[in-house]
């Protein structure tokens, strides 16, 4: 079951928001997801929350073609 999300209005410095947007773009995330990621990471590092579930994304690559033999 997915966690419920709660809307929260955030007042943030314009330059900080611009930096978060650039970082989010680099990570292919929305700025909202990037802010949540940074907050969650800080909470984990400072032992304010515990990691209850680790999500691992695996990408299955197609088998490599055998090298062609030129005759």
Instruction: State the pLDDT at residue 33.
Output: 94
Residues of the domain holding 41: 12-58
- Find out whether 29 and 21 touch, Cβ atoms under 8 Å: no
Query: Does this model's pTM top 0.85?
Result: no
- Give the C-alpha separation, 31 to 16, whole Å: 11
Q: Is residue 33 part of a domain?
A: yes
Q: Is residue 69 part of a domain?
A: no
Q: Is residue 1 part of a domain?
A: no
Q: Is residue 19 part of a domain?
A: yes
Report the sign of the C-alpha dihedral through residues 6, 16, 24, 47, in that order.
Answer: negative
Q: Which ranges of 1-71 would DSSP assign to H, the alpha helix?
A: 14-26, 31-45
pLDDT tens readout for residues 26-71: 999 999 999 999 999 999 899 888 877 666 556 666 777 766 676 5
- Give the C-alpha separation, 18 to 20, whole Å: 5
Give mean pLDDT, residues 6-20. Answer: 96
Whether 19 has a pLDDT exceeding 70, the answer reads yes
């Amino acid at each position: 079951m997915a966690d419920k999300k709660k809307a929260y209005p955030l007042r943030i410095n314009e330059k900080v928001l611009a930096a978060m947007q650039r970082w989010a773009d680099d990570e292919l995330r929305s700025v909202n997801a990037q802010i949540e990621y940074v907050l969650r990471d800080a909470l984990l590092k400072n032992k304010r929350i515990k990691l209850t579930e680790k999500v691992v994304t695996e990408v299955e690559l197609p088998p490599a073609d055998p090298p062609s033999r030129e005759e």
